[in-house]
Homo-oligomer: A and B are copies of this chain.
Amino acid sequence: MTIAIVGIGLIGGSLAISLKENGFAKRIIGVDVSQENLDKAVRRRLIDEDAPLEQAISQAELIVVAIPVDVMVHVIPKILDQIKPHQVVVEVGSTKESLLEGLRSHPNRGRFVSSHPMAGTEYSGPEAAIPNLFDQKYTVLCETERSDPDAVELVERMFRSIPMKIARLDPLAHDLHTAYISHISHISSFALALTVLSKEKDEDRIFELASSGFSSTVRLAKSSPDMWVPIFRQNRDNVLDVLDEHINQLSRFRSLLIKKDFDTFYQLIQEANSIRKIIS
C-alpha cells in the first residue's frame, strides 16, 4: 500500500519506520512544510520520496496526518475536500474535541479516522524518529461511529500491524483523561525545570551531581513548544482543572511542612505510593 505521511517528525517518522519495516507500507511519500526535514527524512530512509501535499494525496491510499494540532484544524478539511471515495485519512494528534467538532459536517467525514497513538519522547523532528516507539502501546480511536466501517477497519489493521493495542474513547473523555495522564506531566516538568534553572543558573556544575530521579522528572521539559502550546490551547479548560488540583496537592505538602506535621506528610506519601499498582 502507498501511504502519505503529512508531517515527518517524531510521530510521523516513527510510524514510517514501523510501517515500512513490517511491510504494511510498500511506499511512503513524505509531506512537510520544511524541505530540510524532508531531506533529512529521505537521507534517513524514513520515506521513499517527498512530494507536495496535493500530489502525495493523489497517489496514496492512506493519508496519515501527524502535524501540530493547531495546523490540523486547517489542513485536514482541505485534505478531505480533495480525496476520492476509496481513500482514507487518519490523524494522530493529542487533542480531539475541537478538531472533531469542526469536521462533523464535512461531506467526506466518513473517510476520516481520528486516533491518538499513546507514545512519544521529549524530542522532535525527523531526527527523533525511532523504531519500536509504538510497540505494544495503546492507540485511542475517537468518534469511530462517524467514520465508514472500512476506513476504521483499515486504520485498525495499520495500528495492529505495528503491533499496537486499540482502545476507544469519545472525544471529550479523551481530552479529559489525556490532561491527567499526559498534559499535566509536561507542565509539571516545564515548571520544575524553571524552578531549578532560576536558582541554579550560575552553578552549572551542580547539575553534574543530579541523580537519575531528577532527570526523570524534568526530561519532558525538553519538549517542543511548537507541539505543546497548541495542545494546551485546545485543551485549556481540562488542563486548567488538573493544574488547579496539582497546585492544591503541592500546597497541602507546603502547609504540612510549615506546620511540621510530618505524620500527615507520611500518610500522603503512602497514598501517593499506591501509584505503584498502576505504573510499572
Q: Which residues on A are within 8 Å of B, measured CB to CB?
A: 118-122, 137-138, 140, 167, 177, 180-182, 184-200, 203-204, 206-225, 228-229, 232-233, 236, 239-240, 242-247, 249-254, 257-258, 260, 262, 265-266, 268-276, 278-280
Contacts and interface: CB of A to CB of B under 8 A. Distances in A.
Copies of this protein, total: 2
Nearest to A133: B212
B273 A221 contact: yes
Chain A binding surface, main DSSP class: helix
5 contacts: A192-B249, A219-B279, A222-B273, A232-B262, A250-B250
Contact of A118 (B200, B203, B210, B221): B210
Contacts of A214: 181-182, 185, 279
Contacts of A258: 240
A216 to B, nearest CB: 5
Nearest to A219: B216
Nearest to A263: B229
Among A121, A189, A239: residue with most chain B CB under 10 A:
A189
B242 A247 contact: no
**Lowest 9 A-B CB distances belong to which pairs?**
A225-B269, A191-B249, A193-B275, A193-B272, A190-B272, A185-B217, A181-B210, A195-B246, A221-B272
Given A192-B188, A269-B190, A275 B197 contact: yes
Contacts of A254: 240, 243-244, 247
B253 A138 contact: no
A221 B215 CA distance: 14
Contacts of A272: 189-191, 193-194, 197, 221
Nearest to A196: B180
B197 A274 contact: yes
